[in-house]
């Protein structure tokens, strides 16, 4: 018997998904406006979030529900470590810190793992399917926007998944075949919406850093133009 969870998640999170895409930080990213310092802070948050999610999923590898959706080929912890080493250097562990919204996100993952582990499915769905769906597009945007020629985008690369479309179909089928009742499915959808909300808070937190960075860049650009203008005027005189 199918739980139709994949369809319920798609329909039930549609509004939250749209809202998340319209957060300023995400809109800027999609338009190719990416500031390296803000981006590496996001990667740092993701490192702690994915580490927590993957650790908790592994704890429940024999769980009758969670185990059905624990695809280790999706794991991002190692790729995030590669990216953090690229952005911060070899001592990145001493520099990376969780933001307040990232901390709340991690705490929620730990909490449900201890009390309602089946809700981990909502976090897996929200993050991993998004990564697979738009990963290559976001990778290209990041490379262009930050002038990356080698490294810095390992997060978007799924070395163990050769056919992303086929894998997403397999993942959705696994969701539909989960041995859950209607009430559990509804709770998973509710948690997925909460996960989108946590992501939005994290993006909004970074938005301030991005706006500040863009402001500084514009100021420096104007200052350089004025300096060039003064030099040209002095030369003309």
- Residue extents of the structural domains in the chain: 5-208
Q: Which residue has the tokens 């390296």?
A: 36
- Helical H segments across the chain, by residue range: 5-12, 14-21, 24-30, 36-59, 77-88, 100-115, 120-124, 130-145, 164-176, 182-236
Local confidence band at 228 (pLDDT 50, 70, 90 cut-offs): low
For 118-164, write each residue's pLDDT tens digit.
999 999 999 999 999 888 889 999 999 999 989 999 999 999 999 99
- CATH superfamily, with its number, for domain 5-208: Heme oxygenase-like (1.20.910.10)
Name the phi and psi angles at 181, rounded to 5.
-95, 175
Q: Which residue has the tokens 């999706």?
A: 74
CA distance 196 to 15: 10
192 close to 7: Cβ distance less than 8 angstroms: no
Alpha carbon separation from 45 to 104, 190, 197, 225 (Å, rounded): 11, 23, 15, 37
For 35-77, write each residue's pLDDT tens digit.
889 899 999 999 999 999 999 999 999 999 999 999 999 999 9
Q: What is the pLDDT of residue 106?
A: 98
- Tell me: pLDDT of 217 over 80: no
CA distance 185 to 200: 23
What lies within 8 Å, CB to CB, of 142 at 6+ separation is 29, 34, 39, 148, 152, 153, 156
For residues 17-46, give the mean pLDDT: 91
20 close to 26: Cβ distance less than 8 angstroms: yes
Q: What is the pLDDT of residue 135?
A: 81
pTM of the complete model: 0.87
CA distance 50 to 44: 10
């Amino acid at each position: 018997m199918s739980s139709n969870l994949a369809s319920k998640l798609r329909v039930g999170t549609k509004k939250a998904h749209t809202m998340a895409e319209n957060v300023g930080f995400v809109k800027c990213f999609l338009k190719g406006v990416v500031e390296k310092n803000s981006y590496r802070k996001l990667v740092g948050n993701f490192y702690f979030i994915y580490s927590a999610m993957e650790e908790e999923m592994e704890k429940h590898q024999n769980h009758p529900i969670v185990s059905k959706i624990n695809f280790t080929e999706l794991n991002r912890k190692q790729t995030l470590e590669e990216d953090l080493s690229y952005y911060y250097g070899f001592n990145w562990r001493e520099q990376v810190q969780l933001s307040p919204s990232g901390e709340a996100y991690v705490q929620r993952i730990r909490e449900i793992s201890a009390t309602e582990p089946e809700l981990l499915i909502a976090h897996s769905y929200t993050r991993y399917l998004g990564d697979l769906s738009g990963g290559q597009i976001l990778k290209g945007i990041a490379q262009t926007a930050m002038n990356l020629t080698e490294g810095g985008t390992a997060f978007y690369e799924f070395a163990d998944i050769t056919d992303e479309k086929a894998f997403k179909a397999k993942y959705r089928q696994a969701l539909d075949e989960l041995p859950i009742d209607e009430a559990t499915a509804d709770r998973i959808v509710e948690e997925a919406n909460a996960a989108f909300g946590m992501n939005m808070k994290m993006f909004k937190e970074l938005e301030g850093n991005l706006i500040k960075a863009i402001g500084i860049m514009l100021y420096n650009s104007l200052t350089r133009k004025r300096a060039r203008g003064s030099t040209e005027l002095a030369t003309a005189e």
